[in-house]
Structure 1
């Protein structure tokens, strides 16, 4: 008698669909990057030296073997710390499956550190890169190696995202605490239409002090940051099934047309197109 077995489907916890950059770089001790946000994930690891990082409301100093994972549309910026020349590696990617994560900074084990170092050493022989940064394709005959590369990176992410390691200490200073307070205030009032004076009042700061503090850690204007925060939340709402009109109203935009203009300027596509992609 034949026996029939029903297989057990295994859902992926991390599934990378494309990669944008793979590179490592050594910065000068005076390096300062104004910051950016984009619609893909970005993993940054310090191989040597000390690196200052702003990631959303978080401000931290990363040392050798420490890393940060930036979510899509999360504002972040980098700078050299402690008069060192930080040596970092970066992999930015898109994924259709990623876990909900609370912690964004991770302390790598020596084995994990060696894994990411090994991936960076092999990247040049596998991928065709523009200026050794932007991934343009896979070298002919290296298709199997490219799959191994991303299988290894996915396994690496699974390891760091599921480990129960102690949280890393936040950067401690009065200005850093004020910055965190400002971002939390913006999050609390994300549905409102606020001016810079309104935000200063809510944070019990003068407009000048607000501007100085925010510029130090964000590198962009607070109103630009607030708009990007609203659009990031809009993407989440649209993905959850909210309509365009409802999303615009919830986030304090005066009308749908203005919301659509700001959404496209920030993300590169209209909310209608983004919504269609989520429904496919």
Structure 2
């Protein structure tokens, strides 16, 4: 009996992405609004923002996502207190299943957060256009993109949407299986506990030994866990957290660089500036100027 192939059904298929953004906005940023003939979603990674979808106002907090259907007017503004970090992705998709996303505002799971992080990661390796420019209307490809990056963006985005649909359907009697995280359950629990510990002690100077002792984990296991999750060691990850918070404080514009350095537990403003440049590619002054320049563009 001859073999017969099975043509795989695609409930959600995306072939065109319009924009991929990761924004670090000032606390007083305001976007007057727009509408366009493709889908867009906004997810709050840090802080909170006020949005208008159609004619309805909403406040989105960390870990929440909002979808705007084609031709729906939408605007956003920061609340004047907290400098928000946002993921914004727009794309074309005409699948009937997209009805699930009309007017959708919901909390996201760790799986969804991971998939969005992977999209941003791949975009950095294949898109030459800065991901933090809110005025981008056309993305340029990198001349030497990592192999398969664009395809992975498509796959991760489709997987994200499928996961969100399944989450919406879970309340039914025959809920489909949720997309599994690539992390083992035990590792995920340990990782979450340690990252929470690092965030709680972000103003301190921590050593690997102190982190291990406080979280009852061996040094090699700790380093292996962060290599798998963040592609770096735990101390580098902790330094990134500090610099991310420093960026937020700079954007909120309530403290000078010396005060921020002291607040984050750096021994000197010079060491703070060196680490800031090492991890962000620019000095604190250059970062502040670049953020203001983007915000002031017409």
Q: Of 130, 150, 153, which residue of structure 2 is paired with 1:149?
A: 153
Whole-Å separation in 2 of the counterparts to 1:60 and 1:141: 38
Whole-Å separation in 2 of the counterparts to 1:66 and 1:165: 18
Give how far 1:158 is off: 1.0
Give how far 1:98 is off: 5.0
Whole-Å separation in 2 of the counterparts to 1:53 and 1:132: 19
Q: Which runs of 4+ in 1 moved over 6 A?
A: none
Whole-Å separation in 1 of the counterparts to 2:96 and 2:132: 27
**Structure 1: where are the runs of 5+ without partners?**
168-280
> Match for residue 163 of structure 1?
167
TM-score by length of 1: 0.53
Q: Do the aligned partners of 1:50 and 1:82 also contact (CA within 8 Å) in 2?
A: no
Q: Do the aligned partners of 2:129 and 2:140 also contact (CA within 8 Å) in 1?
A: yes
Question: Per-residue displacement from partner, 1:47-76 (whole Å, max 9, x unpaired)?
Answer: 000011111143211111111111110100
Whole-Å separation in 1 of the counterparts to 2:107 and 2:120: 18
> Match for residue 106 of structure 1?
106
Whole-Å separation in 2 of the counterparts to 1:15 and 1:139: 26
**Structure 2: where are the runs of 5+ without partners?**
172-298
RMSD of aligned alpha carbons: 2.5
Whole-Å separation in 2 of the counterparts to 1:48 and 1:141: 29
Higher strand share: 1
- Within a 5 Å distance, the mapping from 1:51-130 to structure 2 comes to 51-81=49-79, 83-99=81-97, 100-101=99-100, 102-129=102-129
Give how far 1:105 is off: 1.1
> Match for residue 141 of structure 2?
137
Question: Per-residue displacement from partner, 1:159-179 (whole Å, max 9, x unpaired)?
Answer: 112313899xxxxxxxxxxxx
Q: Do the aligned partners of 2:46 and 2:85 also contact (CA within 8 Å) in 1?
A: yes
TM-score by length of 2: 0.50
